[in-house]
A and B are shown apart, each in its own frame.
Chain A
């Protein structure tokens, strides 16, 4: 029902506009059309008397770009990235535990010759 009424209104509008266009006496200019020289004329218009709207159009395009990026940006971190962070923290903790046993981080009261002796034992085991 609604679509039929809309279609009837639109076809009526087309008929009205067509009769108006066909009945109006247009004052068609006798000068030849610009043709391929139209590009130069458009460029001269852009940089002389339509310079301010040209610049405003560039600013409008920039604003639309920024606005589209802000509107379409994802505001939450996707679920795929969360297990990667867990893996990274796990490996970080594991590496710190290994580094705590290394001879640089040994306590002061730990005898120096004992650590060297342990390293000597480890070298014996490797051989």
Chain B
């Protein structure tokens, strides 16, 4: 019965991440929302590997890979935010029309 608790918590965390990703205008809050979604995925992987596959725990291996991807994404995202702030003097998502044509 405990698996359902983990999955419901992960679903709530993922939807909070989606809400923050869609509704926030600050770039730092968008990055934090993406991290929240990745952590929800990690929680799902850990729960499934612990309750459905306790012998060969491959979900934990995949969660380590997801953490690696999250670290790389956060580093590159923060560097892009820094360079955009130097060029535009703002971190507002509405002001970023660099890729618009």
Contacts and interface: CB of A to CB of B under 8 A. Distances in A.
Interface of A: 2-3, 6-7, 10-11, 13-14, 17-18, 21-22, 26-29, 31-34, 38, 41-42, 45-46, 50, 53, 57, 60-61, 63-65, 67-72, 74
B93 interface: no
B27 interface: no
B76 A71 contact: yes
B57 A41 contact: yes
B54 A34 contact: yes
Interface centre among B3, B15, B57, B76 (most CB of A within 10 A): B15
A18 B8 contact: yes
B51 A28 contact: yes
Closest 8 CB pairs between A and B? Answer: A64-B72, A71-B79, A17-B11, A68-B79, A72-B79, A10-B15, A68-B75, A21-B7
A64 B76 contact: yes
A65 B96 CA distance: 24
Given A26-B52, A31-B55, A17 B60 contact: no
Contacts of A45: 56-58, 61
Interface of B: 3-4, 7-8, 11-12, 15-16, 18-19, 22-23, 50-58, 60-61, 64-65, 68-69, 71-73, 75-76, 78-80, 82-83, 86
B74 to A, nearest CB: 9
A57 B58 CA distance: 16
Contact of A26 (B16, B51, B64): B51
Contact of A10 (B18, B54, B55): B18
